[in-house]
Amino acid sequence: MLDLAARYHEVFGPTGAVRIVRGPGRVNLIGEHTDYNGGFVMPMALEASVRLALYPHQEPVVRLWSEQFAERAEFSLAAEGPMEPPDEPPHWLRYPMKVADVLAEAGVRLYGFNGVVEGDVPVGSGLSSSAAYEVAAALAFLVAAKPELPAGPAQAVAQAHGLTTARLAQLCQTAEHRVGVRCGIMDQFISLHGKRGHAILLDCRDLSYQAVPLPTDRAKVVIIDSAVRRKLTTGAYNERRSQCEEGAGRLRKFDPDIQELRDVSPALFQAHEESLPQVVRRRCRHVITEDARVLESAEALKAGDLERFGRLISASHDSLRDDYEVSGPELDLLVRIARSVPGVLGSRLTGAGFGGCTVALARPEAVEPLRQAVMTQYPKHTGLQPRVWVSDAADGAAIDV
């Protein structure tokens, strides 16, 4: 791991002690495209994260160096939030700028700082590098405003500013909306609320949640990066969100209490699905059945029934492939390879789709055969080099130093 404090001094010169904040990425085990429909998801925080080393100063400006892009950029601060640079800022700078926007609107006084950003969450992989970055940026602003805050979990940092971590997640979600992706709340929420050794079952409507234990002695979470990158702001993600909203609106005439697809029961959908345009019908069917799979998955994990959980994971992928149409040939190939390995209990794409990663639930003894099968078969058929790793469920965001 990069010595981020030392790297800060290389970039900005000697100072006092720098602070380091961290926002983890996430892998969603099940519950895809349900969050912005008010439904249920079950992600876990990853050990991979975005880290930001910072040193506060008295100038109303934020200067950042991105290790990933080997680029330095800055923006100025005003009482009401950041001011747009005279030239078009690099895309990676827009995230902390929009985070500053929403924090200022929430009443957080902004202070300038110098910072170095680095991370090991692959960009465009479906592991929520953007949410990890937003959360790290938010913590950086909170620390810059109160440099005396001790190292510790994000909850304490938020409370020092009169915020809850749920509210902080909502602010980071709003920041991503302003960047251009109408994401749900899941990614920012799990980055702030992860718990080591547990998945988080989250109700995306009221933000109630519970930790569900993952028996890592009996099964491992294996993440496989397809090396296919996608950019959600190109429109496919937002198009599907609009289709879901259309479906909920059309079904509302059969039950006025329907606000979102979360409120549509499988029975009501089956009774009235013919009233929906064909594409909208498929989108709605995925979301409604996926919500049911998430709740059943939580019960399966609580009962220690990993085989049942694995079957639900696989059913989720089939629905994402056929009804939501967010998979692709590379993701489907990785899923087929994984399912062919004895001891793999289930596999699916994870994240919004259109590229990125798959996730598999595998018996410990199946992890290495799975890795070998992927590394042998996938490049032969695609010419792409995948990445395979195992991650335990990690704790959420924090001030590390």
* 1-32 per-position pLDDT tens digit: 899 999 999 999 999 999 999 999 999 999 99
Mean per-residue pLDDT for 281-291?
A: 98
Predicted confidence at residue 86, as pLDDT, reads 64
Other beta carbons within 10 Å of 10: 10
Other beta carbons within 10 Å of 123: 14
Q: Are 227 and 385 in contact (CB under 8 A)?
A: yes
Q: What are phi and psi of 116, to 5 degrees?
A: -120, 130
Predicted confidence at residue 74, as pLDDT, reads 96
Closest CA to 71 of 56, 87, 93, 53: 93
0.85 cut: is pTM over it?
yes
401 pLDDT tier (thresholds 50, 70, 90) = very high
Q: Please report the domains of the chain, with CATH numbers, ordered by start residue.
A: 4-213+395-399 (3.30.230.10), 220-390 (3.30.70.890)
pLDDT over 80 (residue 267): yes
59 pLDDT tier (thresholds 50, 70, 90) = very high
* 329-356 per-position pLDDT tens digit: 999 999 999 999 999 999 999 998 989 9
Edge to edge, the sheet with strand 387-390 lists 344-350, 357-362, 220-225, 387-390
The DSSP line for 260-281 is SGGG--HHHHHHHGGGS-HHHH
Distance CA 94, CA 140 (A): 15
In the chain, pLDDT over 90 holds for what percent of residues? Answer: 90
The catalytic residues are: 187
The residues facing 76 across adjacent strands are 61, 83
124 pLDDT tier (thresholds 50, 70, 90) = confident
Per-residue burial over 190-217, b = 16 or more CB atoms within 10 Å of its CB, e = otherwise: bbbbbbeebbbbbbbbebebebbebeee
3-state DSSP helix/strand/coil % of the chain, to nearest 5: 45, 25, 30
Identify the weakest region by mean pLDDT among 68-77, 121-130, 249-258: 121-130
Helix (H) or strand (E) holding 257: none
Predicted confidence at residue 125, as pLDDT, reads 79
233 pLDDT tier (thresholds 50, 70, 90) = very low
